[in-house]
Every structure is written in structure tokens, then in C-alpha cells.
Amino acid sequence: MSSILSIDKISKFYGPIKALDNVSFEVPQGSVFGILGPNGSGKTTLLGIVMDILKASSGTFLWNGQPGSEVIRQRIGTLLETPNFYHYLSGEKNLAIAAEIKQRGKEDIARVLEIVNLTQRKHSKFSTYSLGMKQRLAIASALLGNPDILVFDEPTNGLDPAGIAEIRTLIKELSGQGKTIIMASHILDEVEKVCTHVAIIQKGHMKAVGSVREILDSRGGQQITVLEVGSDDLATLDNIARLMPGITAVQSIEGYL
Ligand code: ADP
């Protein structure tokens, strides 16, 4: 399988803080690739670097074998932070504004509304949308211009259980349409349910990379990392301990590390 993204020995300092330490991995084309780690482990920094928003202190990355900028502009849709939608405007109008700002054609607004299943509610004000619908609109905005690569930072963060389920289903559908998806998450259950591949990162260090199945099947007892288990999946704590003896699952990372 060819790589859509190759990351080679990337490090990043913020002053004295080392946020990433010599991180290398490859993202296979067509994968749903999870970057999994507790809060503060360097996930957002890594996504910022490969999206050319931040500069690495050292190391290189290639998109499809080339230095990034043109590929990033033309082929990648992002959801790195919640977009600023206008509450008093409809979903459709908000997308029209987003298309203008991003210099994407307005002709595919109907197409992206259909993909995220908001066509029926396109004339409703954004303020009347559920949390899941708001996030689906944000993903619709990332889909403008029909990118074949999507980069999402914690796409289910802050959502209620219904919203989380909606977004996970949508990500699987987008993958089924052939898109490569790279997503950061601090929730093991999410990566297990949605991703085909995973890189586990802790305190800026890459701890394990591979297919989700390979990682879950590795029973070396190696102390890999500590993962926060989302409040929606507390029942899986025992399962995690059984499946992944090298991983310590806790309800909340607060005060643990
Ligand atoms: P994550 O996305 O996994 O929560 P981040 O990439 O946001 O992790 O942060 C990694 C580390 O870098 C943390 O220690 C964080 O406090 C630090 N950091 C992130 N952004 C900045 C910044 N702009 N200035 C200084 N330190 C930062």
C-alpha cells in the first residue's frame, strides 16, 4: 500500500518545551489513521506541522512524495478547530460563506450537504442545530472542493453520545467513498471503532504504529502508554485491560501523568 503522508524524524520545541521528539511514521493511502494519545501529547502540534500551519524544529514530511503546500491547498480538507459559523444564518448560507473564504466553488454546496445528511435542514438556522448537526456542518465545510484527504483534530470532542455516533458513522462513510482520513483522538474506543491504523503518541514520543488489529493483538506486556477513556465508554475499561495489557486505561488523565 502506498503512503499518502511520510513523516520523518519530526521534532518541535515551544521554547524549552519539547512537544514532539523525533516522530516518524507513514500514513497508508485509503486508511483511516488515528493519532491516539492523552491530552498534551503533541497530536495538535503534529497536525499543525503537516498542514503547514506550524514549522517543525527539525525533520521533514512529504505528502504523496512531494513537499506539502500545493497538495495541502488542493487535496486536503481540514477540521482542526470548530469553525466560526453564524448562529442566525442557515446551514446552507454558512457553507456559502465558508466556500467564499476558502475560495472553493459554491457549486458543490448541495453535494456536501447531502453527504453529511443535512439537506432536509439546510434552511434552518445554525442556532437550531444539535451538537452533532453543527459538527456535521463543519465536516461539510471541510468537504468543499471534494478533497481526497481529510485531517480532523478530535472530531467528536465536546459532543453528546448521539453526536458522537453521528460523526463516527459519517467518518466511516467518507472512508467508504475512498477518502484517506487522518484524525487525532484521545479516546481509545473511538480509534478502535473507526480507524484502520493507529499511531500512539505520549509526551511527544511515538510509542507504537501499525494497523489497529496489529496493535490490539500485540500482547508483549510492553508498557506503551496511558489512555483516557471517554465518559461514554467507561464500560470498556475492563475490555481494554484484557485486550491491551501494555496499556493502562484510566477514566480521566487528570492527575495521572
Ligand atoms: P495534544 O493535541 O495532544 O493535546 P498539543 O500538541 O496541543 O497536544 O501540545 C503538546 C505540548 O506542547 C503540550 O505540553 C502543550 O502544553 C505544548 N504546547 C502546545 N502549543 C503550545 C504553544 N503555542 N506554546 C507553548 N507550548 C505549547
pLDDT tens per residue across span 206-241 = 988 988 888 766 644 344 444 555 544 444 555 555
Q: Is 81 touching ligand 1 by the criterion CB < 6 Å?
A: no
Q: Is residue 109 part of a domain?
A: yes
State which residues form the domain around 153.
3-250
pLDDT score recorded for residue 67: 84
Q: Is the CB of 38 under 6 A from ligand 1?
A: no
The tens digit of pLDDT for each residue in 14-46 reads: 999 999 999 999 999 999 999 999 889 999 999
* Residue 32, domain member (yes or no): yes
ipTM: 0.98
CA-closest residue to ligand 1 atom 25:
14
Q: Is the CB of 14 under 6 A from ligand 1?
A: yes
Does residue 140 lie in a domain region?
Answer: yes
Residue 257, in any domain of the structure: no
Query: Per the domain annotation, does 166 fall within a domain?
Result: yes
256 domain residue, yes or no? no
Count other C-beta atoms under 10 Å from residue 254's C-beta: 10
Side chain identity, residue 140: A
Residue nearest to atom 21 of ligand 1 (CA): 14
Q: For a pocket test of ligand 1, which of 11, 12, 13, 17 has the largest count of ligand atoms closer than 8 A to its C-beta?
A: 17
Residue 255 lies in a domain: no
Q: Which residues of the chain have pLDDT under 70?
A: 1, 216-257
The CB of 53 under 6 Å from ligand 1? The reply is: no
The 10 Å Cβ neighbour count of residue 14 is 11
With respect to residue 12, please indicate whether it lies within any of the assigned structural domains: yes
Q: Structurally, how many domains does the chain consist of?
A: 1
CATH of the domain at 81: 3.40.50.300
Tell how far the Cα of 68 is from the centroid of ligand 1, in angstroms. Answer: 22
| Angle between helical axes of 161-176 and 131-143 (0-180°, round to 10) | 20
